[in-house]
Each structure stands twice: as C-alpha cells, then as structure tokens.
Structure 1
Amino acid sequence: MQVSDLAPAPIFRVRVAVPVHLYDCFDYSLSAELYQRAEVGARVAVSFGRQNLVGVIMEKLAPDVPLNPDIKLKAITELLDERAILNTQSLSLLTWAAQYYQFPIGEVVHSALPTLLRQGKPYNLLARTWKLLDAEAEQKVKRSERQQEAYKILKLHPAGTSENVLNLAGVETATLKALEKKQICRCELEAQDFSPMPIQMAQMPLTANPEQQHAIDSILKARKKYQAFLLDGLTGSGKTEVYLQVMQEVIKQGKQVLVLVPEIGLTPQTISRFQSRFHCNIVLLHSGLNDSKRLQAWQAAETGKASIILGTRSAIFSPLPNLGLIVLDEEHDLSFKQQEGFRYHARDVALYRGYLEQCPVVLGSATPSIESYALVQHQKMQCLELNQRAGTALMPKIHILDLKIAKKQHGMSQALLDEMKKRLDKNEQVLVFLNRRGYAPVLICESCAWQAKCPHCDANFTVHRTPYQHLHCHHCGTIHRMPDHCPQCAHTELKPLGLGTAKVEEHLNELFPDYDVIRVDRDSTSRVGSWQKIYDKIQQSQASILLGTQMLAKGHHFPYVTLVAILDIDSGLLSVDFRATERTAQLVVQVAGRAGRGERKGDVYLQTLRPDHPLLNTLVKEDYRQFAKQTLQEREAALMPPFRYAALVRCESKSQDLNRDFLQQHAALLRQSAGLNVDIWGPIPAPMERKAGRYQSHMVLLSPDRARLHFYIRNWWQNMLHQKPSSMKLTLDIDPQELS
C-alpha cells in the first residue's frame, strides 16, 4: 500500500468564543483525549495573537469535517473545566443576544462569566465559613450593636455558616473580622456545598384582594410555558405580594426564580421581603459584590443550589438549570438598558429567555414603558391591572404650584414650606425630590456673567462643597479647584446659581432646624453599606425630611411619608428627546407614589414654571394610563418607536468634520443597498456635541421591519468598523433608549 493511499489522520477541533472585538468564533485543535473530555460550554485557555486568553467552547467539530490544508490551527493551551459551566440554554441566549445587538460573540459570552472565571481561576473556589468559638461572649460585645447582632446570628449556627449567608442576614464582613480579633469566632476555608437547601415557608402569605388573586391565577396557569405578563399596578397596589405568591408555587415545584431590579439600592428591602417569606437559598448578583462573593453567588445559581436569584440587569445572563419564572420589577426603568459596550436591554433579553426556557415572564411597574403597552396592544403580552392600593392606603392628590407667581424661599414656594411644617409637626415624614446632585449646577461671575464651563465638554461645571469645595463635571469626571476670582474680569464675587441636593439640604437645615434632613444621592451613598444605614433610619417612625434624586423614586416603601415635594420638573418638559415626556411622566408618578403608603393620606406638591403643560394636566386630571394611551397614538402618527424599529450609530473623534464626512459616505452606501427599507436620519451633532474633549455625531436608522433593518445593518456595520480611522470610535445601539 502506498503511503499516499492512507486516510489523513483525523484533526480534533473545537470552535471557541474568544473575548476580542471580532465577530467570529475561532477554531483550535486539541488531542483526541482532550476532545473526548471537552464539553460545549466549558472554558479553555488559548493563545490569540500575542495574548493568552480565556475562551468558551461553543461547538465541537466532527473529526471528519474537512479542513483547508493551508490553515494551520493553534492548539488549546489548557482545558480549564471538566464540565460545561454554561448550559445549552445559556449559550443559545448569548448567541442570540450577540446577533440581535450586533456585538462580538466572544465579548458577549465573556460578559456572562464572573470576573474570577474570566481570569481563568479554578471553578472550585473555597468558601469562607465562620464558626463561633466562644458561646458565652455577651460581655465582650456589649459596646457594639453590630457585633451584638452578629454574635446572636452566629449563635443560631453552632456548626458554622458561610459568609454569604451572614452578609445576606445583614452582618458585614468587617464586623466578623472584629469578632475574630476578640477570638469570638474564626474563619475557615471549606469546599462549597452546592446541594440545594430544603424549602420551607417562613411566613404565610397575605390575603390577596380580588385583583391580586386574578393576577396570581393568570400567571400560575402559564407556569409551564412561555407567556409574558405586564403587571400594571398603581404605586402601593401590592405588586410584590403578587410576585411572592407566584414565586411560592414555582419554588415548591423545585424551580428557580430570577428577579431583576433596576439598581442595587432596591436589593436590601427586596431581600428582606424574600427572606421573611421563604426559607430557601437566596443569592444576590450585582456589581456591588467583590469578586469571590459574586463567583459564589453565580455558582449557587448555576448549580441549582439557589432557589431565588435577585440581581441587577447583568443577572439576566446567569446560567440557571431549573428556571421556572422571570420577574422584572420597575420594568420601565432606564437602568435595565446597558449604555456602554454591549448595549443590551435586560427587559427584552428576559422576554427572549422566557421563550427559550418556556417559562412565564412578569414585567411589573406603576408606569410601564410605552414599548410594553405596545406589546399588549399587539397581543404579544397580557396586561394584568391592579387599580387599588393595598390595605387602607389611598392614592395621593397632586397639587401644582406655579413658580411664576408663588412667594419663594431658597427656590421653594412658601405654600410648600408651610405644608411641610404642618406634616413635620404631626410627626410625619416629608420627601423632597430634586434630580440634580451637588451644591449648584452653575458658578457665575456677578460682574461679567462668566460661567465655569468644563474645558472638555459642552457643559457647565457643577459646584460641590463636600468633601471639599470643588468644581466637578458630571459628564467626563473632570475636577477643578474652586476659583477665588473670575478668570475673565478678576472679580472676586463668584456665585453658585441654581439648586443641587447639597444646597437644598443646607437650606432645609436652616428652615427646619428641629428635624433631621436625610440626603440620598450618589454622593451620600458612595460608601459600602451607607444606603442600608440610611434606609434603616428612614424606616423609623420619626419626623424627618428625606431629600434626594432618582434613588428615592424607585419602588421604595416609606410608610411614614405623607407629603412629596417635586422641586423642579421643567427640564424634562423641554428636552429634544422624543422619550422625554414619557420619562418625566414616569418620574412624577413614581416619586408621587412614595406618599401615603401607610395609614395616612398623602399629598404631592409639584413646582413648575409651566403649570398649563398638557402632560402635567393629563397626570393631574386623569392618570398615567391615559397619558400612555395618548403617547402611543402620537408615536404611531409620527412613525416613531415602538411603531418603527431603530438603531443609533454614535461616532466620536477629535473633528466634527471627520465624523460628518465618514458617516455621510457610509449612509450613501446603506441607501444603495437598503433603498426605501431603511430610513436614515443624519448625520447630525449629538445633543452634547463635545464630551471629554471629543466631538460626538449621531445617525439614526429606522424601519418598520425589524428583520430587514438587522439584515441590512449587519455587513454594512462591520465594513464601517474595518474602514474607520484608528482615532475614531464607533458604537451601534440597537433599540436605543437615549439620544445623548
């Protein structure tokens, strides 16, 4: 037999998703022995160019699949997992998301892994377990309430318990370390136990009213198939109780529940509701966790140990072997849309995941997005309405205050201040809302009208007075010291103009010296654990003023707040973004919904220079649903989303001319291929034309046919990326939510 007659030796190959900004997976060779052990969904170490990277196996190619003889494959460096850590459904979801949002598959898959797994660390990380050493240590902890509480919880677990469980119970790691120094407990590293906990009810459910019961029954009928529900419930109408009772039945069947909330700030109250109702394994998944805790929570979800997974938007990609229900609370919230890098929308991904996993998806909100109402209108989602507040609570009444004619002190009308004094004197709480952090939005010279502008952006500096006096650009992050004179005319009288939360706090302390003013914004909650302390303080039934930004508006339950004051709503009424009125209406209703959630009736006072604005009158005289109905009609008449599908190309460089010429050239190419199937707006300068020293331009693509829009964009977009100058940054935003 001739040597040439022998069949070629089989080449064992796998297709790997590698975290690079390229749109393909890459083939790597491996030995027959490794090929047998390798599983789709497992991690591998590979060499890519000059880098050593961690990839995920997406496909095992049959050895008899022919290979171009001119191609020389690299071999994988190491098989990092002996089993798949991303299951088939997870890989299908990630592949769909990469295709839908036109983003490199390797980076999408990479984003679904915890940081330690991305770095190639072993899966079986040891867990930190705390064990009590001294069961008679009451005297050693009597001076610290936190240590006393931690000690009591440790006594409930004589055999020891994991740090994650203790953290969920409100015990901070720093407190445990303090007890360790006193030799009251010790930390041990142990292999993680991934067996599920027995599930018990810790507390009986509340009695559902007829509307709640109808919603519960409707969702449970669909628990073994895909169906999307919009739980459209007034603020305080008991949406969470509906979630809990549905979750109870799903968990009883041995299924997992994924609950998404828009921001980390909502997790403390949500986790406490879940823990008081269910005795089962509950894990948190959000960016506030350190790397090891995030990995342990992710592993509890991936192995099926966790019955309830509570997280922010990225948790939608967590692998869950027994998923039985997805809940998105505050589904309208913009925080569910990722605004950088992989620009997915967790709400839309959740709907597709429910379809893949054949489980119901519940979107809950008091102010649903116009997109969700459109899905209901097109019978792609079932609407379940809750029209009455739970218990005896009544909806608050909205009062509009005309700032043009009102007597004012420090930007607040006298009528509002008088009403606040009445409520505080009755030992009630008042919530003051201003969506502008810092001390003042403008620093101006009283002599020549010079304003302190950021040198890198088309924006003013914001004045801050803590932790020291400085100027801060909230767009690019630039910080400058506070000038002692005007750089234009040398005048020394520089005046902070306008109101920020820090300045309002100062004025409220001056006007109401006998009452606590509790400020809640990004500056006051930046330290670890600070939001939980503030939240606990608010829950005490003592007269106080809560002052804050949007962080206070998102689904919190403040039972002692009877008056809400919205200081400035006008900026939302004047924006160029077609979604601005929707966002403003949602904000007004959500903030107003914090009032009167307990036994006492609530009132809302809204200050404005435009008291006759149609939006405000619709909200006062009718309700959010009527506003949404009108907005749907307007969007349909104007052929705006959701009645056409959109994609936004953002272009950024050091020259606006370069942006315009490049986008015009590629707009012409798209018109040639797509014809009338795609409507192209622009290129035009972005609303903030210059940001961080670079010029921003936009081009909007619209089509009534989503599939055609994506078809024409796909190759066109990748050609743009190949042809762009190296100094230019291009991003594609599918279904954009903001035009900034």
Structure 2
Amino acid sequence: MLVSVALPVPLYRVFDYLPPAHSSSSNNAPLPPIGSRVQVSFGRQTLIGIVVAHINASDCPIDPSKLKPIKKVLDDEPLLDEPMLNLARWLARYYHYPLGDVLAVMLPTLIRQGKPLDLLIRHWRVLPNVTEDDFHSNAKKQKQQFAMLKLHGKNGASEDILLMEGMERPFLKRLEDNGLIEHYFEQKPAPLPVSLAKLPLDLNDEQQVAVQQIHHACEQNQYQGFLLNGVTGSGKTEVYLQAMQPVLEAGKQVLVLVPEIGLTPQTKARFASRFAANILLLHSGLNNSQRMQGWQDCRQGHAQIVIGTRSTLLYPFANLGLIIVDEAHDLSYKQQDTLRYQAADVALYRGYQLGIAVVLGTATPSLEQLKLVTDGKLTELQLTKRAGHATTANLQLVDARDKPTEYSQQPDGQPQNTGLTSDTINAIRQTLEAGEQVLVFLNRRGYAPVLLCGACGWQADCPRCEAHLTVHHSQLEQHKPSYLKCHHCDWQAHIPKACPDCGSQNIDPVGMGTTRLSESLHAIFSNPQTSKTTYPIIQIDRDTTRRKDSWEDIYRRINQGKPAILVGTQMVAKGHHFPNVTLVVLPNADRGFLSADFRSPEHTAQLIIQVAGRAGRGDKAGKVLIQTVQPDNPLLLKLVKDGYLAFAHQLLHERQVMGLPPYTHAALIRCEGKTSERTNQALKDALAILPTPNELAVLGPIDAPMHKKNSRYHAQILLLSKNRPHLHQILQQWWEQVLQLPSAKYLKLTLDIDPVGW
C-alpha cells in the first residue's frame, strides 16, 4: 500500500509516498490515517501535507521502489474527517485550485507548520503561604495582578479567563519566576448544556412564520436554504436567536457569519444576553495561538455558538446544526486572493453536504440570491415591517444642482466648502436641537482624494499604481502628521510645499474625505464661536478604528444617546444599531450610478439602503436625505419611489437581456507581471490554446480596471457561458495548460470563478 499526500504546492495533483516504516525490514508498515498530517521530503524541502488516500502499489504509475518513505506521522487520529476532505475536494474542483493549497487555506498557521494539537488549558494559581507582604513596596502592578488571581481561590483560573479580566501574560510569568504563583494544565471540560439567559421577545406574524419554517427544516435534519429578506430594522437577529434555540438545546453547534470584524463584539453581546452558552469569536484580529485554540474548540465541540468572518466557514465542527450568514449580500464574503471563494455560496454547499439548514439574512439581497429564489433553490422568508414601533425611514432626494453649498470657517481662517446644501445643514441642526443623532455617510477616508496644482494641473499620483494619492491631514489635531498615501499599495510621501512640475505654491487638496468633512461640520456645530450649543463629531473609518478597543469606545459614545454627528464610511452601513440616529445624510449619491462597472448600480443601491437603515431604528421616526446632481436619474428614482426589491428586479431583467450574470456564469483570468507587454502576450498565448469549438463569450486580453498596481501591470480575460458545467469542463482541461505556457513563466496567473467585478 502507498499513501497519497496533498502538499501546499501550486501543482494540481497529489503525491504518493511509502509508509514511514517501509525503509526498515518490516513489510507490515502502519499506514497514517486519512486526514492526518505527515512530514515528507519534497525535492530539497521538507513539507507538511495531509493524507488524502491509501492506494494499492499496483495502481501507482511509478515503480514503488523509487518512491520516498514518509519521514514522520504527526497525528495518530485524523485531523480532518471525510466531510471536511470532501469539502476541500469540492472547493478545489469548483474554484480550480490545487487541493494541497485548499487544505492549507483551511488549516490555521500553527497546524500547517506541524505544531502539536494543544488539548490542555493552562491554569494559574497562587502558591500556598504566599501573601502580599512578599512583594517589594514598589511592585504595585505585580501586587494588583496577584490580588486579582488570589480572588479565584486555591485552584486559580484558566489563563483565558485571567487575560479577559485584564491580567497580562508577562506579569504572570514574572510572578512565576519570583516563586509566587505556578501554572498547571488541565483538560478542557465539556461545556454545560445551553440554557436561556433571557426570555425571547414577542414575534410579529412574519417573524413567526420565518422561525417556524427554519425550525421545521432543522427538525427534519435535511438541507434547506433560506433567504431571510427583511427590511433594515425588521428584527432579523431575533429570528436568528429563536431559530437557534432548539438547535442549541439539542446539543448542536450554530455558526453565525458576519462580514466585518467590527460587527463581532456587538453580535456576541446580543447572543450572550440571550443564551448561557460557550460563545467563540473568530476573526483576523486573533493571533496564531488563539486561532489554533478556536479551531480546536470548533472541532471538539467546546464552542456552542461560533461567530466569525468568512474563513470560519472552513473550520471543522463536531456537530454543526445550523449556519446563519448575516448581511449575506456583502462583498466582504468574497475572498479576493489565494482561494477566491464566495462564503455565502460555500455556506449553502456546506449545508447541503451536512444536511442542515442555512439562513442567508439581508435587507438587500444580491441579484444572484434573488435568482436562486426564482429558480426554487432558496426559500424566501420576507420581513416587510420594522420590529416594535419603529417605522421605515423616509427617503428624500435633495437637488444639489442650483442650490449653493454651505462654507465653514477653518482654524487657518480660510472658508471651506462642506459639500452640503443649506437645506441639509438646517436639517442636521434641527435634528441635533431635538436631542437626536445624525449620520453623514461618505465612502472616502482621509482628508481629500486628490492634491492638485492650480497653476499647471499637476496631481499627486502614486508612483507604483494608476491612482491618485489620498491627502491625510488634520487641522484640528496638529500633532498628527500630514502625508500622502496610496490606499492600494500603502505608498506614503510627504506633502510637497510647492508643485514639483512648475514650482507654484498654489497646491490644494481637492474633494472631500471623512476627515475634511468632519472638520467642516466641527466648524459649524462644535465651535463655541459659531454655535451656541456644541455637539461632538464622531469620525468612523479605518483610520479611527485601527487601535485596539477603538470600536468599543466609539460604540459606547454613540449609545450614550446624546446628540452627535457621526461621519463614517461603509463601516457604519453593516448591521449596526444606533437607536438615537434619526437623520442620515448621503452627500454624494451619484458616483455609483455613473460607474463603468455593470455591478455598480446594484452595489450602490445596497449601500444606500443599508445606510438609510441606520435611521429611525428606535421609537423615533427616521429621515434620509440623498443629495444628488442628477435627481432625474431613472435608477435612483426607482430606488427611492419603489424600494430596493423593485429596483433589483428591474436590474435582473436588464441583466437577462444583456446576457450578464447571474444569467451567465463568469470566469476571470488575471495576469500580472513587470511589463505590460509580457502580461498581454501570456494571455494571447492562453487564448490560442483555448479548446474549440466552445460556447463561450470571450473578452480580452484587455487591461485590468487598474492597469498598474504596486509596480506591476495587470491584464485580464473574461469568459462567459450560459452553461455552468460547460464552462467548468473547458477550464478543467485548459487552465493547467495555461499555467505551463513558456510565456507564463515568472508571471502571476490567477483564475477567479464568479468574480464580483471586472
């Protein structure tokens, strides 16, 4: 017998090895279990791979005497069971990605590196007869940490609990080195059965129907996909909670996917207030040890409710009973590098594989999800009314063509255009005076998107990308450095004092970013010289939420309910509950409807509706002001007058007429290299070997939307087919040949199935 091993190498095959003891005189070598890790020689390297099959030596095309033996077996039991291996095979087959690399994506870093699985939990306790008198008088921090540990009694507490309470690992180690405390290991105990910590809320008729249908699917132990299509504020989370209850009480696990790391703390708080359960958070902010421990908790069944971002879907579970994908339309669920999977789609496949229910919850379903409903592949559950006494926010268009915009007086004495009309400013003022909060949405971080010379027209461009450098500057916080930054490759530069081309000092930031808008609103509403009552301006973007716990601090300020203006990017559009926000302002709603990307109107409408959904979520009515210089735009009028669903169905009809997804299936081949000529030549050579005849529509080779990025040139080919199996059949025989082309050497070629943009 031989062992087939999947290795993390970019080759579309597995590799056969002899059993580890085959090199000795024994002929009865034990075979490592399928799904376990093994250490093998690969060329001059030593790699960690996953055993995927045992085969007869007679089936091997190579003489077994020429094969290498496995160096070391790292696991006595399978690390991945058969369903997980089948999931990996499906991902490799559907996304045309090497099986070994798929498995590498599915495993945490430490497990890929061959580290042993740590099934024991470190505990700390105070040594007998040790008191605070044993500390030096100046060791105040050590005394404080010691006192916190002593509160846990003679058995102490686990390191995870102590760290959550604010203790620090270096101090624990120092106390141990000083002979004051000690650590010991214990097996993690099985979690207690899940119980209700708080009674469920009353459901309206629509919510009741949704919960009953999900319960029925769970009781039948069969796969069923649901689209929970509920307007913003309609109580989708309460439906999730009540749908989960019988699953958890039956001893099964529930996986809840969220699109952004910023949503995980508030989601955990909501779920923890309802259930006395072991809730696990998984996201990119965890270190490698925490990821490995979380992976183990899922696999061993210690985690009862798992809340995580898209990669959590690829974790193993002991007894998964329900998958919930919140904000299922969100683009964050599409992985944009390595294995380019769509998490919402993979969630449906995993539910089908395990025979469990999958709930896709959203207020703005994607066109692909709506077509799945039309095709009978998803069951739609509609929530058309907001929960409680909340009413749907009223959308109003503000014609900004002829109305002058307001100016603010900046600290340097110069007037600055706010980009907001007088009517909009007055509406903000009235809302604040009523004791309520305002959200101003602008999807551009930084101070300004362009630095421009007024004398010669020079613009500050990124030397490595086809993009302008964003101006980062703050007049209110002079201690913060001012600089130019590319948001694509992170290139940074100083802001020049004079134009590099003509020497003119007439260089100014042009356009509006969140920082500049915050300063303009600060000058009007937070300056005691211009306003009798001052109101805080809270900026919410990637720059202000970068620090640890910054999200929690912002949430705390907002949820105090005091009147304030929130200025945010799309981070504020996703599922946040701000009960005192009654006015939402969108100063620049036209950009998305004018883009060359055919998906842009769909994504823009989703963003508008999601942002609008932050208004009026409490007992007070909400209002949304959409500033536009194209108030007659038919798409915008359709969205405002008839709502998102009518808008989406109109787009679906247009896509069908034009032969675009979801009525056709797409594959995007990208090529990047040091020169534009080489990338285009490689794609031309690829098209030359494309199997013919075929029923594909082919576009390319053409330059990518961003032709130059990070000093590399990008080109692409788009393949469209009305028949999905035919497209995958073509790719199956063609893609590996493309990678072997001589002209593709030293270039990066990638294949993106179901791309979200081209």
The answer to whether the 8 Å contact 2:666/2:753 transfers is yes
- Once the two structures are superposed, the pairs formed by residues 348-359 of structure 1 within 5 Å of their partners are 348-359=345-356
| Alignment equivalent of 2:513, drawn from 500, 506, 521 | 500
Name 1:15's counterpart in structure 2: 4
| Alignment equivalent of 2:188, drawn from 178, 193, 196 | 193
Percentage of matched positions with identical amino acids: 46
Change over 3 Å in CA distance of 1:152–1:360 after alignment to 2: farther
- The CA distance in 2 between the partners of 1:473 and 1:212, in whole Å, is 46
2:425 partner SS: helix
1:727 corresponds to 2:722: no
- The CA distance in 2 between the partners of 1:733 and 1:74, in whole Å, is 35
Which shows bigger deviation, 104-113 or 537-546? 537-546
| Alignment equivalent of 2:260, drawn from 249, 263, 287 | 263
Cα displacement string for residues 558-601 of structure 1 (whole angstroms, at most 9, x for unaligned residues): 11111111121222111111110000000000000000001111
1:214 partner SS: helix
Cα distance, 1:29 vs. partner? 1.2
1:611 partner SS: coil
Look up the equivalent residue of 1:349 and give its one-letter code.
Answer: V
Change over 3 Å in CA distance of 1:245–1:126 after alignment to 2: same
1:698 corresponds to 2:706: no
Change over 3 Å in CA distance of 1:511–1:172 after alignment to 2: farther
1:620 corresponds to 2:628: no
Cα distance, 1:453 vs. partner? 0.8
Name 2:88's counterpart in structure 1: 94
1:234 corresponds to 2:226: no
- The CA distance in 2 between the partners of 1:553 and 1:262, in whole Å, is 11
- The CA distance in 2 between the partners of 1:104 and 1:66, in whole Å, is 20
| Alignment equivalent of 2:601, drawn from 581, 590, 599 | 581
Look up the equivalent residue of 1:433 and give its one-letter code.
Answer: F
1:712 partner SS: helix
Cα distance, 1:680 vs. partner? 0.9
| Alignment equivalent of 2:733, drawn from 704, 709, 715 | 715
Name 1:455's counterpart in structure 2: 463
Cα distance, 1:161 vs. partner? 4.2
- The CA distance in 1 between the partners of 2:504 and 2:120, in whole Å, is 63
Cα displacement string for residues 655-703 of structure 1 (whole angstroms, at most 9, x for unaligned residues): 3333333322322321xx2424221111111122211222211211011
The answer to whether the 8 Å contact 1:127/1:296 transfers is no
2:660 partner SS: coil
Change over 3 Å in CA distance of 1:345–1:394 after alignment to 2: same
| Alignment equivalent of 2:38, drawn from 35, 44, 48 | 44
The answer to whether the 8 Å contact 2:126/2:149 transfers is no
- Once the two structures are superposed, the pairs formed by residues 316-465 of structure 1 within 5 Å of their partners are 316-409=313-406, 410-465=418-473
Change over 3 Å in CA distance of 1:162–1:208 after alignment to 2: farther
Change over 3 Å in CA distance of 1:153–1:617 after alignment to 2: farther
| Alignment equivalent of 1:486, drawn from 499, 509, 514 | 499
The answer to whether the 8 Å contact 2:125/2:157 transfers is yes
Name 1:654's counterpart in structure 2: 674
Look up the equivalent residue of 1:450 and give its one-letter code.
Answer: W
Q: Which runs of 5+ in 1 are unaligned?
A: 1-11, 138-143
Name 2:703's counterpart in structure 1: 685
The answer to whether the 8 Å contact 2:149/2:156 transfers is no
Name 1:115's counterpart in structure 2: 109
Which shows bigger deviation, 388-397 or 499-508? 499-508
Change over 3 Å in CA distance of 1:35–1:285 after alignment to 2: farther
Look up the equivalent residue of 2:501 and give its one-letter code.
Answer: Q
Cα displacement string for residues 186-215 of structure 1 (whole angstroms, at most 9, x for unaligned residues): 683524415233321111111111111100
Cα distance, 1:530 vs. partner? 1.5
The answer to whether the 8 Å contact 2:441/2:611 transfers is yes
Look up the equivalent residue of 1:127 and give its one-letter code.
Answer: I
1:701 partner SS: strand
Change over 3 Å in CA distance of 1:122–1:298 after alignment to 2: same
Look up the equivalent residue of 2:396 and give its one-letter code.
Answer: H
Look up the equivalent residue of 1:477 and give its one-letter code.
Answer: D
Look up the equivalent residue of 2:724 and give its one-letter code.
Answer: R
Cα displacement string for residues 409-447 of structure 1 (whole angstroms, at most 9, x for unaligned residues): 211111111111111122211111110001100001121
The answer to whether the 8 Å contact 2:229/2:380 transfers is yes
Name 2:569's counterpart in structure 1: 549
Cα distance, 1:721 vs. partner? 0.8
Name 1:105's counterpart in structure 2: 99
2:351 partner SS: helix
| Alignment equivalent of 2:627, drawn from 572, 584, 607 | 607
1:657 partner SS: helix
2:702 partner SS: strand
The answer to whether the 8 Å contact 2:126/2:182 transfers is no
1:469 corresponds to 2:482: yes
Change over 3 Å in CA distance of 1:599–1:126 after alignment to 2: same
TM-score when normalising by structure 1: 0.92
Aligned residue pairs, count:
717
Change over 3 Å in CA distance of 1:722–1:535 after alignment to 2: same
- The CA distance in 1 between the partners of 2:428 and 2:38, in whole Å, is 62
- The CA distance in 1 between the partners of 2:80 and 2:123, in whole Å, is 27
The answer to whether the 8 Å contact 2:682/2:744 transfers is no
The answer to whether the 8 Å contact 1:135/1:155 transfers is no
Look up the equivalent residue of 2:3 and give its one-letter code.
Answer: V
Look up the equivalent residue of 2:183 and give its one-letter code.
Answer: E
Change over 3 Å in CA distance of 1:165–1:260 after alignment to 2: farther
- The CA distance in 1 between the partners of 2:146 and 2:226, in whole Å, is 41
- The CA distance in 1 between the partners of 2:632 and 2:171, in whole Å, is 59
Change over 3 Å in CA distance of 1:483–1:157 after alignment to 2: farther
The answer to whether the 8 Å contact 2:471/2:484 transfers is yes
Change over 3 Å in CA distance of 1:162–1:400 after alignment to 2: farther
Which shows bigger deviation, 62-71 or 215-224? 62-71
Look up the equivalent residue of 1:218 and give its one-letter code.
Answer: Q
Cα distance, 1:97 vs. partner? 0.4
2:431 partner SS: helix
1:556 partner SS: coil
Cα distance, 1:162 vs. partner? 3.7
Look up the equivalent residue of 2:466 and give its one-letter code.
Answer: D
Cα distance, 1:652 vs. partner? 1.4
Name 1:639's counterpart in structure 2: 659
- The CA distance in 2 between the partners of 1:105 and 1:296, in whole Å, is 24
Name 1:77's counterpart in structure 2: 71
- The CA distance in 1 between the partners of 2:548 and 2:617, in whole Å, is 28
2:54 partner SS: strand
Change over 3 Å in CA distance of 1:477–1:160 after alignment to 2: same
Which shows bigger deviation, 375-384 or 404-413? 404-413
- The CA distance in 2 between the partners of 1:250 and 1:682, in whole Å, is 49
Name 2:240's counterpart in structure 1: 243
Which shows bigger deviation, 458-467 or 186-195? 186-195
Cα distance, 1:136 vs. partner? 11
Change over 3 Å in CA distance of 1:122–1:332 after alignment to 2: same
Q: Which runs of 5+ in 2 are unaligned?
A: 134-139, 407-417, 475-479, 527-533
Which shows bigger deviation, 119-128 or 529-538? 119-128
2:267 partner SS: helix
| Alignment equivalent of 1:27, drawn from 5, 16, 20 | 16
Cα distance, 1:503 vs. partner? 0.9
1:220 partner SS: helix
Look up the equivalent residue of 1:399 and give its one-letter code.
Answer: Q
Name 1:535's counterpart in structure 2: 555
- The CA distance in 2 between the partners of 1:571 and 1:186, in whole Å, is 61
Cα distance, 1:632 vs. partner? 1.0
